[in-house]
Amino acid sequence: MYNVTYKFEQKGLEPITFNNVEDGQSLLEVALINDINLHHNCGGVCACSTCHLYVEQGDTFLEELSDREEDFIDRAVNPRLNSRLGCQCVLKPGSGSIVVSLPDQSQFLGE
Ligand code: FES
């Protein structure tokens, strides 16, 4: 079980932490079932970059970055060293704390 905290670069949104999150889910799935707005234009199959997020803590609990994911991260807005695609960040069996930061989702309005 994990504690997962979502922080937001969008102004006015406070961080939210979810406790007892089960492994086997992606950070995109965890966000969506908790009504967090994280874009996912390709439906979570690693074919876009709209689920881009930054992993601030707990990256070792997530499935490893693939070459394909890296390619799409390169096309994301403002990629950084800790960039990942939320749909590819599946929680590995285990427990711990994960903290991620979501880019401002309003930047995708009008797409
Ligand atoms: S939803 Fe498209 S790559 Fe994650």
**pLDDT for position 109:** 63
**How far is the C-alpha of 78 from the C-alpha of 11, rounded, in Å?**
17
Region of 14 on the Ramachandran plot (φ > 0 left; ψ -120 to 50 alpha; else beta): beta
Domain over 2-104 is classified CATH 1.20.1640.10: no
Which of 63, 87, 102, 105 is the best mutation target for the ligand 1 pocket, counting ligand atoms within 8 Å of the beta carbon and taking the most?
87
Average pLDDT, the chain: 95
**pLDDT for position 107:** 80
Please compute the mean of the pLDDT values over residues 13-24 and round it to a whole number: 98
Looking at the predicted structure, is the pLDDT value of residue 81 above 70? yes
Looking at the predicted structure, is the pLDDT value of residue 111 above 60? no
Task: Give the pLDDT band of residue 108 (cuts 50, 70, 90).
Answer: confident
Looking at the predicted structure, is the pLDDT value of residue 110 above 90? no
- Phi/psi at 74 (5° precision): -60, -25
Pocket of ligand 1 from Cβ distances under 6 Å? 40-42, 44, 46-48, 50-51, 72, 85, 87
Sequence-ordered alpha helix ranges (H) in the chain = 27-33, 67-74
Q: Which of ligand 1's atoms lies nearest the C-alpha of 40?
A: 1
* Distance from Cα 69 to the centre of ligand 1, integer Å: 9
Q: Which of ligand 1's atoms lies nearest the C-alpha of 72?
A: 3
Can you give the residue ranges of every domain in the chain? 2-104
- Rounded to two decimals, the pTM is 0.94
Quick: pLDDT tens for 28-73: 999 999 999 999 999 999 999 999 999 999 999 999 999 999 999 9
